[in-house]
Amino acid sequence: MSDNNFLFNFNSFSPSVSNPYPYGNTLPPQDCPNGAPVDKYKGYGVNTWEVLYSSWCSFQNSKAVEFTANQCLTGAPTNNDCQGPANIFFMRHGEKSPTTPNYCLDNNGIYRSSQLVNYVNNLAERGHPISYIVTCNPCAFNSSDPSIREQQTIGLVSFMLNIPTFIYGGSQEFSKVVTPLFTSNQYNGLNVMICWEHSAIQQLTLSIINEAGKLKRLPQQIIDAAVDGNYGDAFFKHVNPCPSGHYLAQPSDANYNPTYDPTLANNKLIGENSQNYPYWNNYNFDNVFLLGSSKSDNYEFHFTILKEPCVTCFPSSEYKACLYQPLSISCTPSNRYYSETTEIEDKYQLPIDWKKK
């Protein structure tokens, strides 16, 4: 096979294209009884696995699967023109229940994750196949925010399209993901999709930008303007694709919240100009951040906000990705539960029979 056929316009992403993918808001009310999409195959019963198997089979001739199969061949070409990924697509987890326990996605989130398979295959058809998926460890049960939401959001994409998933630490252990992205050589010149906890994406994006700056993968004027190695301050001040022209909502904006104060002390983790950095609002599930590059511009990263081509019964939020909010607390240790009589957890009691000591 030739490199050209294998990579099929692999490194030609144009950051000037604001959103080349179709996008809709929410499903019509008749398709959303009780606020969740209709289960059109309800009652399939014991043969439900047949539906799952057929769904997997339906994607095995897709462009994304073809790329994965070719890429794993011993003689497959590689692209080492740049250190680290060529394009990084960031997404947050899908919709979750507003009530507890909300460690998993709700029906709308699962509906979204099902549609993301088509989205990722569409990326491949447009010349941007995803080679690897990267996500974070879930918090343990009984911690401050137990969650398998990231794994559920991207799990069907990995399963249906045979794309490997890598987990590097918790959602706020940023160096554990940034270091292998740029030093393992595994990701060089490839497209990576990152599914992350939304409150930590701002810091993760900044950490990746700072590493890219060290490798001279940012525009020269950004590198020249960086202060103390913090390239994100310069990058996100200059590269600002938000519709209103700024990341921090202004008093004239409908989504303005005066309680978001970028000067608070707890913002020091991400830098004094953190109000300029991108952030997902709590109720925005549609955005995709892209750090895109191409060989034609020497793999300098550019920033673009895209939209997922997904519809659910969750009302589409008009809050932009540009709102600033501080980091939420990271995972806390899980509580140990004991039997009231034996004080051990491994006597095969049901969890409802356990009592916290």
Query: What pLDDT is attached to residue 238?
Result: 80
Q: Identify the H or E element spanning 52.
A: helix 48-58
Candidate from 150-159, 237-246, 348-357 with smallest mean pLDDT? 348-357
Query: What pLDDT is attached to residue 265?
Result: 47
Backbone φ and ψ of 289, nearest 5°:
-85, 140
Query: What pLDDT is attached to residue 11?
Result: 37
Return the structure tokens found at 19: 């959103």
Report residue 89's pLDDT band, with 50, 70 and 90 as the boundaries.
Answer: very high
Whether the predicted pLDDT of 237 surpasses 60: yes
- pLDDT tens per residue, range 9-27: 333 334 334 433 333 458 8
Is pLDDT larger for residue 292 or for residue 40? 292
Q: How far apart are CA 262 and CA 153, in angstroms?
A: 30
Candidate from 101-115, 126-140, 325-339 with smallest mean pLDDT? 325-339
Residue type, 202: Q
Q: Cα 173 to chain center, whole Å? A: 15
Q: Are strands 132-135 and 165-167 parallel, antiparallel or unpaired?
A: parallel
